[in-house]
Amino acid sequence: MKTLIGFGQKEAYKRVEQLGDRLAEIKSQMDLEAFRPIVGDVYDNRSERGGRPNIDGVVMVKLLVLQQWYGLSDLKLERQAVDRLSFMNFLGFPEDIPDFTTVWHFGERLAKTGKD
């Protein structure tokens, strides 16, 4: 979290934290880092050609968890992840929150590789 915006988001989240954040409680009880080796090879654009950097696999898994828990479409998930401080905190305040098509493609890749 190196940007001024990131700092502002964390400061604003302090109020949410004071009021109680169930996602933060759940986050502390889950080890989603365990999914990193499982989803690490889902991306197939690691070539000499380069390209846009991948979104962290654990952030993507967290997005899919939020989507399931809250019954959100890909588009609504993007909206909520950008808008809700509790979602941002659950995701670890990432520099970039992926758009809905990135989430959809990630889910498709998981299904295609049998990792869903």
Domain that holds residue 81: 4-41+54-113
**Among 92, 99, 77, which residue's Cα sits nearest to residue 23?**
92
Tens digits of per-residue pLDDT, 73-112?
A: 999 999 999 999 999 999 998 888 899 999 999 889 888 8
Does 46 fall in a domain? no
Long-range pairs, 99-105, Cβ under 8 A, ≥24: 100/73, 100/74, 100/75, 101/74, 102/55, 102/60, 103/60, 103/63, 103/64, 103/67, 103/74, 103/77, 103/78, 104/74
Number of domains in the chain: 1
Q: 2-40, pLDDT tens digit by residue?
A: 677 778 788 788 888 888 888 888 888 888 888 888 887
Domain-located, residue 49: no
Q: What is the pTM of this model?
A: 0.81
Q: Is 102 within a domain?
A: yes
16 assigned to some structural domain? yes
